[in-house]
Structures are given as C-alpha cells and as structure tokens.
Amino acid sequence: MKFKRLVERIALTRPGDFLRRNLGPTVLLIFLLTFPLWEGSVSGPVHIKFLERMRLVGIYTIVAVGLNLLLGYAGQVSLGHGAFMGIGAYASSLLALRAHVPVYLTILMAMLVAVLISLIISPILRLRGHYLAMATLGFAIISFVVLREMTWLTKGNEGLMGIPKLSLPGVEVRTMGGEYYFIWIIAFLILIFSRNLVNSRLGRALKALHHSEVAAETMGINTSWYKIKIFALSAAYAGLAGALFAHIHSFINPGIFQLNLSIILLVMVVLGGMASIWGSIAGATVVVFLPKVLEAIPYWFGNKSLTQWFSNNYSNLEPMIFGIVLILVMIFMPSGLTRGLSDFFRYRRSPFVNPLKRGSGI
C-alpha cells in the first residue's frame, strides 16, 4: 500500500540514516581536525595566518549559531549579542583574575552570567520587529557604558590585561594549535547540538512562531516562553564565545564589544544564511578572512607598500566593506551563501536572483 511505503520512507529510520545525516559534519570534522597539520604549507605562500584566524572563526561561529537560532529560526532580531560576548568575556576574565577560579570553570560561569542577564532583560521580547531591534540596541549601549564606567571592577577603557590562558583541569592551553582545538571542539559540539535542536519539535516550534504566532499558540506552543528560552540559549553561546575570546587574547576592553561587533555578528548570520546552522561557519569565515584576503592580495602581486597602506587603513574601511558585501548579498543572494549554493547544487537553480523581478528571492 502506498501509505505504508510512505510511512517507511519518512518515519522509520533505516540503517544508512545515521551516515547520511552525519556525512557533512563528518567531513567537516575531519577537515577541522587535520587542518593544523597542513595549513602551514598554505599559510606561507598566500600570506594569511590561517591557524590564528581559524580560532576566531570558531569563536564567531559559536555566536552566529545562537544568533541564527534566534533570528533565522525564531525570527527575533538582536543587536545585543556583541554585548553578551562582552559580558561573557568580562565575567570569565574577572573571575579568573580576581577570584583565581580555573578558566575551564570561569567559562561555564560566564555562560551562566550571560543567561541570567538575558533572562533579566527578556521582557523586551514582547516587542516585535524594529521595536525589539531598538530595545536590544539600547541594551548594547547600556552594557558598553556600564563596562566602561564601572572602573573599580572593569578598569574602564584601560581594559583588563594579563587574562589567563585557556585551561583544562591540570593543563594550560598555551599553543595556538591547542587553542584552535579547544575552541573548535566546543564549536563543533555546539553545531551538532544546535542542528539536532532545529530538527525537532523545538526547532519546528521556533519556525512556527516565526511564521505565525497565533497559529503556533493554537498548536500549544507557548510562544513567549520559547522566545525567552532561545534568547537565553543564544546569550549562553555568546557568553561562551566572549569568554573564549578573552582567554586567547589576554587583553580586553569595552570598545571591542561595542555595537559594531553586534552588527558584524548579524552580518555573519545574513551572509551564511538565515535558518541555516552550517551557514554560520560560512558567515564567520567570510567575515574573518575577507580583510585578510584583501590585505594579502597586493602582496601576491609583490606590492608591499599597498599592503602597508591597507593594513593601516583597513579598520576604518571595514564597516564600509561589510556594508557593501551585505547589500550585495541581500540584493543578489537573499537566502545567504550556504542556502544559495546548496539550492544551486540540489535544484540546479541559480543562487543569484534578479532583484528587478518581483517575488524572486526567498
């Protein structure tokens, strides 16, 4: 009977399913695990420090995944996740510096602090769309000012120095390779956890409330509570990422976690693709490597003075470059890089849309 076969096809798990579901992640894992072994042979010739940068990609991936759950799946925008990173970074650093708590514990505590603060401000989730964006913007500004002005605790603009390195019970992670593995193992686990999350009743609930809150409620979904939960989870991810950031850089100040950072995080989500867990890696990769590639290009053509000029001026140009990239992607590839490309391979559909044709795009 047709129906029976249908049930079998869709509902029942078959032997190959595990492999099929995990093929992509396995390839990614192998790539990540072996990367430090061969990256050196690529790094040199192209003048990009891959390993150093890949640590950052891992950190940003963690935040971007959370932000993607919040924005891409649940449809709730946040301009405050840079601030949650800052909160995590400061919480972890201060606990390690002042209270001498081991770093593997301060990282967990940093996540808790970020969650607590997200719960305190969670009433703003009753706001919708632009209003929520404005409220989270307010939160980002307040956090920045508080970090700057609470000088007795945070030393203000001067920042915190000598932040201890990452550690596991008994071992301090000192090498760049060690940090790379530390960060990426966490990032990978978070990717898998989040992927599982979206392929479940919880992920469906998020997508449902994104589309129609009334219909979602009618299906028994406590929409306001789900928004709070996913907001808190994404804050935990951001707090974790902030803590990792602090412990690999050993120096932080409030300026790092300004609104700029929140916007760049959003750029990653949009670039990678809304409602796309793996896209977060793509978004983070582009954001981290784009400046380095731009910086290296003149070098490839033997023009050192241009490289010099570029690295001196890049930080001023960065917002503009990302602005341009963002606008181009929004116009031509509104479903993001990963979705656009996977659509291309799966349906042989061009990843580019013609913006002049109405109704094209997502």
Footprint on this chain of another protein (rule: CB under 8 A): 2-3, 6-7, 10-13, 193-194, 196-197, 200-202, 204-205, 207-208, 211-212, 214-223, 229, 233
Q: Closest approach of Cβ 268 to another protein, in Å?
A: 21
Residue 210 or 247 with smaller CB distance to another protein: 210
What is the distance between the alpha carbons of residues 12 and 225, in angstroms, rounded to a whole number?
31
Residue among 155 and 207 whose Cβ is closer to another protein = 207
- Work out the burial of residue 160: count CB atoms within 10 Å of its CB; fewer than 13 is exposed, 13-18 middle, 19 or more buried: buried
**67 vs 286, beta carbon nearer another protein:** 67
Identify which of residues 121 and 232 has a Cβ nearer to another protein in the complex.
232
Calpha distance 90→84 (Å, rounded): 10
Pick the closer one to another protein by CB: 109 or 233. 233
Distance CA(222)–CA(278), nearest Å, equals 27
Which residue, 169 or 220, is less far from another protein as judged by CB?
Answer: 220
**Cβ(100)–Cβ(228) below 8 Å:** no
Within 10 Å of residue 191's Cβ, how many Cβ atoms? Answer: 21
Q: At what angle do helices 201-211 and 176-198 cross, to 10 degrees?
A: 70
User: What whole-number distance in Å separates Cα of residue 315 and Cα of residue 112?
Assistant: 32
Distance CA 253, CA 53 (A): 20
**Which C-beta is closer to another protein: that of 221 or that of 238?**
221
User: What three-state secondary structure class fits 172?
Assistant: strand
Alpha helices in the chain (DSSP H): 2-10, 17-46, 50-67, 81-98, 103-120, 129-149, 151-154, 176-198, 201-211, 213-218, 223-249, 259-272, 279-300, 304-332, 337-347
CB of residue 9 to another protein, shortest distance in Å: 9
For 168, phi then psi, to 5°, come to -120, 165
